[in-house]
């Protein structure tokens, strides 16, 4: 028996409602974040703060991701948690037990807005009496701007830069049993400290330099001196030898009556008074 028009209309309405309710709701696409982490330096049984940054890459500029949970992993174990602030940065506290250079990870936590991502860095744990060499990163790289005096070079991390001959081997010998090394890299104006830290760490690892603490500094010529004073006030008085390429780097140490070695041998007029000169990295150990 044929259905009446009213019955057919009612059935059609129910069918449309059923299909509407049963249709899957499209999932909200999560943001793919980037996590960058800076190295941290501390002593055994002393609390340290690991600093990380969470952001989304954009065509014109990056966008910080605030209000997101992050986790610190040490030896694969979640050891601290935090939330990112409005600038995308998070600060995670941890107390290490023994002397070591620990690879650490900071990853995103459970979030409806961002997908999973992870960044890596080093947690450097030394006794405060450990002898420390502070090495300017440009002193490890071949000079691609030979026509420009090294004191006026704008520091940058070129992934294609080649290491100076014997630098990795000689520094490896110095750090194998005795010295700890702090790699000092100046952040160019307008550049991101986190990005520079990661670039420096990647370059050092690629060319098999010994692990150490990557110290990225922004703020102009006085930044290194301020950081050196801060380290000494915090008890790191064994950070008293600088191996650099630029005259300004060496002078920062010499002004504080500390030792400075310039390598490789600079042009005439680029050696500060009382500064030592090493012709090459094989010559550095003779100057210590």
| Mean pLDDT, range 169-175, rounded to an integer | 96
> pLDDT tens digit string along 67-108?
999 999 999 999 999 999 999 999 999 999 999 999 999 999
Please tell me the CATH superfamily of domain 132-287, with its number: HAD superfamily/HAD-like (3.40.50.1000)
- For the whole model, what pTM was predicted? 0.85
Average confidence score pLDDT of the chain: 87
pLDDT band at 146 (very low <50, low <70, confident <90, very high): very low
Residue 15 gets the label, from left (phi > 0), alpha (psi -120 to 50) or beta, of alpha
Write b or e for each residue in 145-156: b if 16 or more Cβ atoms lie within 10 A of its Cβ, otherwise e.
eeeeebbeeebb
Q: What is the pLDDT of residue 154?
A: 41
What is the pairing mode between strands 89-94 and 132-136?
unpaired
Q: Please tell me the predicted confidence (pLDDT) of residue 108.
A: 96
The helix (H) or strand (E) run that includes residue 82 is strand 77-83
pLDDT at 103: 96
Q: Classify 34-125 by CATH class.
A: mainly beta
Tell me what pLDDT residue 270 has: 79
Q: Read off the pLDDT band of 155 (50, 70, 90).
A: very low
Which sequence spans correspond to the domains of the chain? Answer: 34-125, 132-287
Characterise 269 by phi-psi region: left (phi > 0), alpha (psi -120 to 50), beta (else). Answer: left
The mean-pLDDT minimum among 42-51, 57-66, 121-130, 227-236 falls in 57-66
Shortest CA distance to 105 belongs to which of 128, 87, 89, 121? 121
| Residue 8: per-residue pLDDT | 53
Q: Which range (98-112, 122-136, 180-194, 235-249) has the least confidence?
A: 180-194
pLDDT digits (tens, 9 = 90+) for 262-273: 999 888 777 888
Lowest-confidence region among 33-47, 55-69, 85-99: 55-69
**Given a cut of 80, is residue 130 above it in pLDDT?**
yes
């Amino acid at each position: 028996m044929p259905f009446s028009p009213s019955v057919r209309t009612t059935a059609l309405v129910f069918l449309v409602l059923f299909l509407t309710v049963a249709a899957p709701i499209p999932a909200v696409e999560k943001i793919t974040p980037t996590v960058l982490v800076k190295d941290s330096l501390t002593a055994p049984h002393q609390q340290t703060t690991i600093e990380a940054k969470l952001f989304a890459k954009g065509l014109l500029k990056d966008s910080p991701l605030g209000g997101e949970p992050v986790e610190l992993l040490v030896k694969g174990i979640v050891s601290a948690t935090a939330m990112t602030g409005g600038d995308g940065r998070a600060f995670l506290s941890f107390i290490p037990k023994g002397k070591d250079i620990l690879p650490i990870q900071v990853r995103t936590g459970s979030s409806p807005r961002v997908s999973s991502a992870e960044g890596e860095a080093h947690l450097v744990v030394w006794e405060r009496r450990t002898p420390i060499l502070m090495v300017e990163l440009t002193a490890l790289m071949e000079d691609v701007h030979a026509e420009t005096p090294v004191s006026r070079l704008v520091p940058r991390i070129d992934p294609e830069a080649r290491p100076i001959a014997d630098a990795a081997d000689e520094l490896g010998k110095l750090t194998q049993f005795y010295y700890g090394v702090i790699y000092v890299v100046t952040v160019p104006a307008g550049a991101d400290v986190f990005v520079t830290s990661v670039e420096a760490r990647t370059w050092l690892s690629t060319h098999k330099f010994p692990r150490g603490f990557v110290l990225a500094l922004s703020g102009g010529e006085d930044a290194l001196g301020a950081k050196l004073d801060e380290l000494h006030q915090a008890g790191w008085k064994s950070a008293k030898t600088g191996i650099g390429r630029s005259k300004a780097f060496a002078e920062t140490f010499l002004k504080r009556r500390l030792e400075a070695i310039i390598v490789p041998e600079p042009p005439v007029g680029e050696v500060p008074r009382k500064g030592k000169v090493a012709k090459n990295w094989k010559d550095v150990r003779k100057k210590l």
